[in-house]
Amino acid sequence: MVERVLPGGIAWGAKPQVETQCAHEVQCPYCGLVQFVEESERSHVTYCARCRSRLEHCAGTSTDLSLACALSALLLFIPAWTLPFLTSEALGATRTSHLASSVTILWQQDQHLLSVVVCLFLLVFPVVRFVSLTAVLFTLRIDKHPRWLAGAFRVYNSLQTWSMPDVFLLGLLIAYERLRSSIPTTIGSGALCFMAAVVLGVIARATLNKVGTWRMIAAEQRVQSDEPLMACQSCGLLLPAHPGRQSCPRCGATVRPRKPHSFSIALALLIASGLFYLPANLYPIATIPIGLKPTSYTVLGGVVDLLESHLFGLALIVFTASFTIPLLKMAGLAWCIVSALCPAPTHLIVKTRVYRVIEEVGRWSMVDPLTISCFVPVLQFNALIDGQARDAATAFTAVVILTTIAVKAFDPRLMWDAAGSHR
């Protein structure tokens, strides 16, 4: 990594001049500044001195509480998988779904991408995450340090974006309200267990001190070097920034000064998602029976249906998640890419904040495909009362996945590098 110095004495990618005895070094993952964080501040939330991104969050964290919630959520997944999820009634018949029902039905409807996505995002990844977190925290609790610990915690963190039980829960509520306005529908005990597991999972995440857990797995050694430093993007460990790739001695992840081929990958995926965006919004995303008549609707048509059913809050949520967020995600990422390609030292903090927002909220765009996966299994009565995912569901899912990978592939530190070289 080439060290660049801005007017004003800030060394880009190098240590600030001020060092205190009770401080440890961290590198901001968003702007690349290596800085000292006071130990006394570790019980609070710490922000980057340059881009204002959150570096460490230790307030209100508890390893024991996080472990208890993760274990409870894991156990609740057993009844959530096996007990009835939704039950609908029509024409004297009933249809009952389970958590995994949509995977097979969507596959039979030739919605292969959506079927695989639901299987991974809803069934596999959440369980893997809760198993990993429970195993890591329990092992640390009994003061053991086996070699697999860092890898397991790395898996937990890396699946955070792709594990979507919380997004599915919102989809379940939307599907339930939609179904209830057409046919009698009840929420089963499996869905109640699922809701409890999601709430516990959110508490486990909120009370987890990630930085502290990495330090419990293996404490950092202070780097005795005047060379520029780089941080492992997985665990935050600082290493001398040698050219090329290194392997992180703590978690085993590949560490590079910057993400490789960041521009080209992000730009290619952004263009691809833009191509999918039009069919995703122009063609029907699903068919549901309205007034005993099969009715196909587009993304925006679904919002209109919710408005006509006087479900104004849900209509606003679906409009925001399905229409606004993908659009903002593509526009925001395009702005960041242009900023990194064409050095622009203005609005860097705003651009970094935009990047953080689209990185955090982008996964909620999956709410519409996951809503479809909720109601399709309980709308299999006859040709009239029939629920189907349509072609736009695949296109829409592709948009969400491609934009999410594009955001992950882009390295926001390149914007700060470009601005530094421009000055």
First to last CA, the chain: 18
Q: In this structure, what token pair is assigned to residue 402?
A: 């491609």
Closest approach, Cβ 28 to Zn ion, in A, equals: 3
Closest approach, Cβ 13 to Zn ion, in A, equals: 12
Q: In this structure, what token pair is assigned to residue 36?
A: 């000292």
Place of tokens 């122009």: 282
Closest approach, Cβ 330 to Zn ion, in A, equals: 24
Count of H helices and E strands in the chain?
A: 16, 16
Closest approach, Cβ 33 to Zn ion, in A, equals: 5
Query: Which spans of this chain sit near Zn ion (rule: CB under 5 A)?
Result: 28, 30-31, 48, 50-51, 53, 232, 234-235, 237, 248, 250-251, 253
319: Cβ contacts below 8 Å, ≥ 6 apart: 300, 303
Closest approach, Cβ 51 to Zn ion, in A, equals: 3
Residue 31 or 315 with smaller CB distance to Zn ion? 31
DSSP, collapsed to helix, strand or coil, labels residue 236 as: coil
Residue 34 or 70 with smaller CB distance to Zn ion? 34
Closest approach, Cβ 346 to Zn ion, in A, equals: 17
In DSSP terms, which residues pair with 380 in a beta bridge?
386
Residue 250 or 390 with smaller CB distance to Zn ion? 250
Residue 184 or 260 with smaller CB distance to Zn ion? 260
Q: In this structure, what token pair is assigned to residue 87?
A: 């039950």
Residue 48 or 67 with smaller CB distance to Zn ion? 48
Give the chain's radius of gyration (CA, Å): 24
In this structure, are residues 76 and 351 in contact, taking their beta carbons and an 8 Å threshold?
no
Place of tokens 């006394």: 40
Residue 28 or 401 with smaller CB distance to Zn ion? 28
Task: Round to whole Å and give the CA distance between 327 and 66.
Answer: 35
